[in-house]
Every structure is written in C-alpha cells, then in structure tokens.
Homo-oligomer: A and B are copies of this chain.
Amino acid sequence: MKIGIVAPGGRLSPEIPDKVLALAAAMYPDPGRRPDIVFHPQCFETSGHFAGNDAARARAFLEIANDEGIDAVWMGRGGYGAFRLIETVLPRLTAAAKAKIFMGYSDAGALLGALYGAGIGRVAHGPMPADLGRDGGEAAVRRALAFLIDGDAGALEPSVAPGTPTAAFNITILAHLVGTPYLPDLAHHVLMLEEVAEPMYRIDRALGQIASAPAIGRLAGIRLGRCGGIPANDPDFGQGEEEVARFWCDRAGIPYLGRADIGHDTANKVVPFGLWRP
C-alpha cells in the first residue's frame, strides 16, 4: 500500500511527516505490512496563502494522482486553495487516478466533491495529516490510516450503512461549490455537514443556500456534524445549530436525520462518498 500526500490548500508543518511515519510504524510493526507513505515536496512550499502557487499545487496533485504506483491520495491539510485547482486538474486525471482513494476534509472538500461529481476514484471525507497539530490528533490519523490501509469499518461514521449513499462536507465549503460546475449531484444521499469557527448567522446563511440549491438533488436526508469553535453572535442569534438545520430542512422538505459523528476535531469519523466499495 502506497499513500501519496499533497496539499491543495495551505502549507503543511515540516514536523508532520516524521510523526505520520512514526504512527504508521507503531501501527504496522511488521515491515511487510507497513504502508509506504510519501509526502510530495509541494506540501512544504509557500506562496502567500498557499502551499505553493496554483501551478505548483496542481502539478503536485497530478503527479501523485496519476502515479500508477500510488494507491491513495491523502490531502495533507485544508486551509484554502483546493477550489482554485479543480478546473486545471480535473481534465488531466488519467486511468491511474480513477483507481485511487482520495481522502481529506475542510477546504479539500471542494476538490473531493468535484472528483466525486466526475466519477473519479473512490472519495472519502476523513482526517488528514495536519490533524496531528491538534491535541490528541494521533487518534484521528490512526483512524485515517486504518481506513486507507485496511478499509477498517471501525473508522466509519456510525450511521454509514450499506445501501445508502453518503457524502460529507464542511458547510461553508459546500455552500461555495453550489452553483458551480463542480457541485456533485447528491440525490438519494445522506449528506453530513460540519462547521468550525463560523458565527451562527453564517451557518444559517450557508445552510439556507445549500437547502435551496436544486442542483444538489433530492437528498435522502441531512445529518449535522459538530459545529465547533463558534464565535459569539452579536446579537445572540437566538437559535442553535440544530434548530437552524431543522428549519432549513423543514422548509426544503429534506428529512433531518439527527447528528453525525464528524467535525473539525480528533473524533472526526470517515464518511465515504456514495456507496463504498471496500
């Protein structure tokens, strides 16, 4: 098993690779089972906000995604920047990319959504190497590795079930895909949504857009993941995240199915896009 790591948005801290390799060695003491994990040098480049300019990030993504020797493309980190790459990379992905797993969350969701919409590879929403920057992030990265390497069902969000297609996004990232050619059709999917560090009025605004977007398709339902680190709303919003989610689901006729075990935190579970083929 060979995993290639790229950073379509922000730069990765240089101490991350040693930590990931140490975790993988601890999880797989038998060198014969241990995955080969490669960090593309682009992960550590800097160009203003980004881990290298658009061309560098697109080139790195294509090198890893189109490499026949690599089984999984693991997004190193979120931040912002994945959307800028979609138009460049999507038409340049080869058959080798279509055989791969792609995993990440947060900003990387823009690219994951576009890949899923284009039917390229197997896509999953799950922890990233940069989660090692969080307290207790080892649990998240172990979960991600267990999923990528062994397809460990224990890594899955608990409501994921055979026969029901799923998808998961950060709320703001999905709202910004709406109306673009890169929004996947999620008809019949259970859509899981999480947010971090956005005031309630912005969560409300983004959920309103998502619930009002015909191109998302008729969802089987929405589950709300954790909304963490929400700054105070001024004035107090008067409604919590679940009331807001129920409001927009009710208005749009989308079943609200309760909470999902995903979020910008170390408990973030893996959500496959579509029906997962182990």
Contacts and interface: CB of A to CB of B under 8 A. Distances in A.
A228 B9 CA distance: 25
A47 interface: yes
B48 A213 contact: no
Given A180-B209, A180-B213, A214-B181, A204 B80 contact: yes
Ordered nearest first, which 5 A-B pairs have the shortest CB separation?
A48-B238, A179-B179, A178-B179, A180-B212, A179-B213
Contacts of A48: 235-239
A205 B176 contact: yes
Given A181-B212, A201-B80, A214-B181, A206 B176 contact: yes
A34 to B, nearest CB: 35
Nearest to A48: B238
A200 interface: yes
Contacts of A208: 83-84, 176
A183 interface: yes
12 contacts: A48-B239, A49-B235, A49-B237, A80-B201, A83-B209, A84-B208, A176-B206, A177-B209, A178-B179, A179-B179, A180-B209, A181-B214
A46 interface: yes
A109 B80 CA distance: 26
Contacts of A201: 49, 80
Given A49-B200, A49-B235, A179-B209, 12 more contacts: A46-B235, A48-B237, A49-B201, A80-B204, A84-B204, A176-B208, A178-B178, A179-B179, A180-B209, A180-B213, A181-B212, A181-B214
Contacts of A239: 48
Nearest to A251: B87
